[in-house]
Amino acid sequence: MSKKHLENADMELAMSRVDGRVKVTGAAKYTAEVQLPELTYGVLVESTVGQGVITSIDTKKAEWAPGVIAVISHLNTPGVPEYKLQNQDVIQKQLRVFNDANVYFNGQPIAVVVADTLERAQYGASLVKVTYSKEKSFSNLKDNIARAIVPKKAKADPKGMTSDFIRGRAEAYKDAEFQVNEEYIQPSEAHHPMELHSIIATWDAEDKLTLVDKTQGSQQTAASIAKSFQLPAENVKVLSTYVGGAFGSALRVWPHEIVAILAAKKVQKPVKLVLHRNQMSYMVGYRPYTLQKVAIGASKDGKILGLSHESYGKTSMYEEFTENVLIMSRMMYDIPNVDTKYRIVPLNVSTPAPMRGPGEATGSFALECAIDELSYKLKMDPIELRLVNYAAQDPDKKIPWSSNFLKECYQLGADKIGWNKRKAEPDSIQDGEWKVGYGVATGTFGAFRNAASVKATFKPDGTLLLQSAIADIGPGTATSMTAIAAKNLGIQPENIAFQLGNSTFPKAPMQGGSNTVATVGSAVVATCDNLKVELAKRAAKQKPEWNNAIPKNISIVGTQLVNSDEPSSKVEIASLFKEDNLSELVIKGDAAPGEESKKYSFYSFSVHFIEAHVHELTGVVRIKNAVSVIDCGTVVSPKTARSQSMGGIVGGIGMALMEDVVIDDRTGRTVTASFGDYHVPVQADIPQMEMMFVNEKDPYLNPMGSKGLGEIVIIGVAPAVANAVYNATGKRVRHLPITPDKLI
Amino acid sequence: MIENKTREKEDEGMASNSRRDFLKKSSVITAIALTPVAAVKASDLKLDERLSEAIEQMSLSIEINGQQYNLKVEPRLTLLDLLRERLKLTGTKKGCDQGQCGACTVHVDGVRTNSCLSLAVMNDGAKVTTIEGLANGHELHPMQEAFIKHDGFQCGYCTPGQIMSAVACIHEGHANSETEIREFMSGNICRCGAYANIVNAIREVKAGGKV
């Protein structure tokens, strides 16, 4: 075994977050905290029916209330120009805000009250009286499965993950000696980042907008808004310096953002609109309720002969939301016969959104539980079963993995959690009143890389400023980018600043799908290399041997530029600025993926181990130990990577044991909208955990050797919990969350 | 006058007879008792509203982070919104606005309090400490240092509330074991899942005896 791998103790000593100080002192300004003159407050009025038509909106009392400046609805909206265009994208059709009197879900924003203080806007909103012509609403997926449709995306992209797929033969599992054929339900889950979704919209001119906005992509939000309001792209500026979590909820523009912009247009002042916590469960997306059917057939030796996997997910009436629920079934194991079918069911609910580990986390719950169930039928260790079916190359694309250290992950994790303590027979270990069980599951997510640019400003005093439009929703992007630059240049991290979350900064993708380090990190490396070339060029005017210097041998040591090939030819950094009297050197670097994805299949992998204790009388589940072993390539920032991984386990425990967006199907209203009803893990639910990284570089994805991390840390956690609960109790819960009532 | 009557009629039509409605009516009546011309003018200027606005302000004397504030506030203003929206002390966070997440935790007379559940006027004469008042100038509080060292956060949004709660947790004598810390820190939700690191930070500060 390689000694490269990282454990808790190695990572605790690593570099701390560069924005730690501003976050622990309260100095970091999140969206709703940015101060603007003449600020006004917008509060939404929501529909109270699940489907119908607004017949009247009485706004007089609200308008008359002290401090209220305007009440805006479909009756007096300034309008969104894009809604009038003919050629709109018919697949991604956003809710048309205040466009007409139609109501598609309970909680739909139908008006906004703008006032000079928050209290006055809230009171004003309570005075708006709405009447409806109410129609029957449909929000239950199981009851309405007959309404399932093939997504338009499947028709547009027949080879994509949402199209019906067959490798080998369909339903080949039926011919196998050992079979599992079960239904699994993942209920809707709300992202609930701790920062409420917020926006401050300001029209700087008739055709110019500035938005302080909670978003995972400042430039993508700017582009989307520019399109909606038919403005020149450069006239929309978006700032999102600090984002208090998102987990996928801020990957697109939502109705409340359009509302704030419309309101600001109407009142000609900056409008701040902050969602209420309860609104966060139905206004900014959610992991959709998904029903899956998985059938697996294997021979006695554990070799899986056939896998059939169907998925039915919720979507809204106005927009088709799809995700890669079935990808893992196609590529994770070496199975000759695989067929998949993906359907969506349009209902009177708002549009879902990718939530951390998106469809893959949902799919892994069904697949990895089914694999576990198969292991019991075969009387085979579930790790052994996975190793028997290990795919030496990507069975879906039929090309080699860029890197795959899954076998190492299984080994490291099994040793760490003490897998040998597990009993093959469920309900075998008792600890007082608690039944003890161990579970394992695998996670995987594509390792992606996009195009990005970075701007560097280097000063004679040796300090470096890097800028990118990328967001940081919490993983510590400025920290990991600083670590990459520090390693590349030799500059001490404290002399590097990384600024982000500004649409006017150089190009970056959204922070989502675990692509930030691979994408922006590559641009940081390119920029640092460009900077070194420029410095060497300048140094060569003093010492000609610098003409031969290559970037990887150049570093900045203290106040000097050093070439490891020619240690004697050091030059003072400050002297490189003298010749043209420059006060700073500005360098840009670009990086984009090449042809590598044609040759190799890029995935990150994780294996999660859970020790669960189940109280035999009450059915309460306590997670006593959790070990994740992660193959995400080289770890560029160990301390933050460890925290990110622990966060994945915590999210997965929530998914497994408590999170459940319950809708009252009579009204379409979300019942579990507050933290009082929608339970997320709290301190008492979470044990100490061991995060391990294989830390072997991926040779092909990017210069750092990294892959992605943010998704694989949650993908596979919920099934590992469910599998541990089964091992402890002999009770198989296939409908999350695993609440005590399902175990007693 | 016609406009006035219409408005009065609408008021009568309301099911609820709130204090505000009463104030509106009484101020309109006061206006009518003057001259008709003045009444029309009063209505146009929404004088009744301004009157009720003035009446509805209450005085509040409060010390925040060692600074004395003498304010006029609406009674429905929460301590949290006073801090964030009026005084621009945005270090205290709004996570749920209904006492379920702990992001708004501050110390009121030394006791940890969800500032979203406390009306500002309930704190007349109180001494409040927020995250902005925890450090000693440039020198961070040991709990702040420990949160950085142990990476007790990711996005940082719940962090001020966690830190204020953590300091109080030790002061209360509720940080004697890992289990006890978990229990007494369970009112502060961290969606990024930094719980294990937060426990480690609190244990270290407790062991260091500096709090």
Q: Which of B7, B20, B186 is opposite residue A684, by nearest beta carbon?
A: B186
A195 and B157 within 8 Å at the Cβ level: the answer is: yes
User: Which CATH architecture group holds A1-27+399-444+600-744?
Assistant: 2-Layer Sandwich (3.30)
Pick the residue of A18, A25, A287 with the most B CBs within 10 A to test the interface with B by mutation.
Answer: A25
Closest chain A residue to the Cα of B24, Cα to Cα: A65
B92 and A643 within 8 Å at the Cβ level: the answer is: no
Instruction: Return the CA Rg of chain A.
Output: 27
Report the pLDDT averaged over residues A334-353.
Answer: 98
Q: Which of A28, A192, A642 is opposite residue B156, by nearest beta carbon?
A: A28
Place of tokens 């003498």: B70
Q: Which of A22, A24, A123 is opposite residue B147, by nearest beta carbon?
A: A24
> Which residues in chain B are closer than 8 Å to A32, comparing Cβ atoms?
84, 90, 94
Q: Which domain holds residue B24?
A: 2-55
Q: Over the stretch A381-427, which tens digit does the pLDDT of each residue have?
A: 999 999 999 999 999 999 999 999 999 999 999 999 999 999 999 99
Closest chain B residue to the Cα of A649, Cα to Cα: B193
CATH of the domain at B71: 3.10.20.30
Report the pLDDT averaged over residues A471-500.
Answer: 97
Place of tokens 């509805």: B56
Closest chain A residue to the Cα of B52, Cα to Cα: A66
B130 and A639 within 8 Å at the Cβ level: the answer is: no
* pLDDT at residue B5 in the model: 38
Please check whether residues B92 and B103 belong to one and the same domain.
Answer: yes
Please check whether residues B64 and B127 belong to one and the same domain.
Answer: yes
The superfamily in CATH containing domain A34-136+196-245+250-281 is Aldehyde oxidase/xanthine dehydrogenase, a/b hammerhead (3.90.1170.50)
**CATH, domain A138-193+285-357, list 3.40.50.970, 3.50.50.60, 3.30.365.10, 3.40.50.2300:** 3.30.365.10
Please check whether residues B186 and B162 belong to one and the same domain.
Answer: yes
B148 and A24 within 8 Å at the Cβ level: the answer is: yes
> Which residues in chain B are closer than 8 Å to A129, comparing Cβ atoms?
none
Closest chain A residue to the Cα of B201, Cα to Cα: A12
Choose one of B12, B36, B55: the last residue of a domain: B55
Q: Which of B90, B130, B193 is opposite residue A646, by nearest beta carbon?
A: B193
Please check whether residues B167 and B199 belong to one and the same domain.
Answer: yes
Mean pLDDT over all residues of chain A? 96
pLDDT tens-place values along chain B, 211 residues long: 334 333 333 333 334 445 555 555 555 545 445 444 554 454 555 665 666 666 779 999 999 999 999 999 999 999 999 999 999 999 999 999 999 999 999 999 999 999 999 999 999 999 999 999 999 999 999 999 999 999 999 999 999 999 999 999 999 999 999 999 999 999 999 999 999 999 999 999 999 976 7
Please check whether residues B38 and B69 belong to one and the same domain.
Answer: no
A194 and B131 within 8 Å at the Cβ level: the answer is: no
* pLDDT at residue A90 in the model: 52
Percentage of chain A exceeding pLDDT 90: 96
Q: Is the pLDDT at A58 greater than 90, yes or no?
A: yes
B101 and A29 within 8 Å at the Cβ level: the answer is: no
Nearest partner of A559 among A547, A571, A568, A546, judged by Cα: A571
A644 and B103 within 8 Å at the Cβ level: the answer is: no
Q: How far is B101 from chain A (nearest CA, A)?
A: 7
The Cα A624–Cα A462 span in angstroms is 48
Buried b (16+ CB within 10 A) or exposed e, B81-107: bbbbbebebbbbbbbbbebbbbbbbbb
Choose one of B93, B110, B133: the last residue of a domain: B133
> Which residues in chain B are closer than 8 Å to A65, comparing Cβ atoms?
20, 49
> Which residues in chain B are closer than 8 Å to A16, comparing Cβ atoms?
148-149, 151
Closest chain A residue to the Cα of B49, Cα to Cα: A66
Choose one of B133, B164, B184: the last residue of a domain: B133
Place of tokens 């990284």: A693
Please check whether residues B90 and B104 belong to one and the same domain.
Answer: yes
Q: Which of B85, B131, B155 is opposite residue A118, by nearest beta carbon?
A: B85
Closest chain B residue to the Cα of A688, Cα to Cα: B196
* Alpha-carbon separation of residue B114 from A340, A365, B33, B171 (angstroms): 49, 37, 46, 17
Nearest partner of A592 among A454, A412, A406, judged by Cα: A454
Conformational region of residue A398, where left means phi above 0, alpha means psi within -120 to 50, and beta covers everything else: left
List all residues 6 or more positions away from A677 whose beta carbon is below 8 Å from its beta carbon.
A662, A671
∠ CA A686-A13-A481, nearest 5°, is 95
Q: Is A130 helix (H, G, I), strand (E, B) or coil?
A: strand
Helices (H), chain B: 2-13, 19-33, 36-44, 47-55, 79-81, 142-149, 159-171, 178-184, 195-208
Q: Is A623 helix (H, G, I), strand (E, B) or coil?
A: strand
Number of Cβ pairs < 8 A linking chain A and chain B: 193
Closest chain B residue to the Cα of A194, Cα to Cα: B95
Q: How far is A235 from chain B (nearest CA, A)?
A: 29
A688 and B196 within 8 Å at the Cβ level: the answer is: yes
Place of tokens 């309930």: B122
* pLDDT at residue B15 in the model: 40
Q: Token pair for residue A546? A: 């610098």
Please check whether residues B41 and B63 belong to one and the same domain.
Answer: no
Q: What string of H, E and C letters represents the secondary structure of A599-641?
A: HCECEEEEEEEEEEEEECCCCCEEEEEEEEEEECECCCCHHHH
Q: Which of A22, A649, A675 is opposite residue B189, by nearest beta carbon?
A: A675
User: Which CATH architecture group holds A452-592?
Assistant: 2-Layer Sandwich (3.30)
Report the pLDDT averaged over residues A662-679.
Answer: 98
Q: Token pair for residue A402? A: 């860029």
CATH of the domain at B200: 1.10.150.120
> For chain A, which residues make up each domain, given as ranges?
1-27+399-444+600-744, 34-136+196-245+250-281, 138-193+285-357, 452-592
Q: Token pair for residue A401? A: 């993995």
A686 and B195 within 8 Å at the Cβ level: the answer is: yes
∠ CA B25-B29-B33, nearest 5°, is 170
- Catalytic positions of A are 711
Q: How far is A211 from chain B (nearest CA, A)?
A: 19
More confident residue, A253 or A11: A253
* Residues A410 and A569 sit within 8 Å (Cβ to Cβ): no
Q: How far is A559 from chain B (nearest CA, A)?
A: 28
Q: Token pair for residue A434? A: 């608690």
* pLDDT at residue B45 in the model: 57
Q: Which of B50, B100, B156 is opposite residue A23, by nearest beta carbon?
A: B156
More confident residue, B49 or A365: A365
Q: Over the stretch A159-189, which tens digit does the pLDDT of each residue have?
A: 899 999 999 999 999 999 999 999 999 999 9
> Which residues in chain B are closer than 8 Å to A193, comparing Cβ atoms?
155, 157, 191
* pLDDT at residue A260 in the model: 98
Q: How far is B71 from chain A (nearest CA, A)?
A: 16
Structural domains in chain B (count): 3
The answer to whether the A138-193+285-357 and A452-592 domains have the same CATH topology is yes
> Which residues in chain A are closer than 8 Å to B165, comparing Cβ atoms?
none
Q: Over the stretch A128-164, which tens digit does the pLDDT of each residue have?
A: 999 999 999 999 999 999 999 999 999 999 889 999 9
B90 and A639 within 8 Å at the Cβ level: the answer is: no
Q: Is A502 helix (H, G, I), strand (E, B) or coil?
A: strand
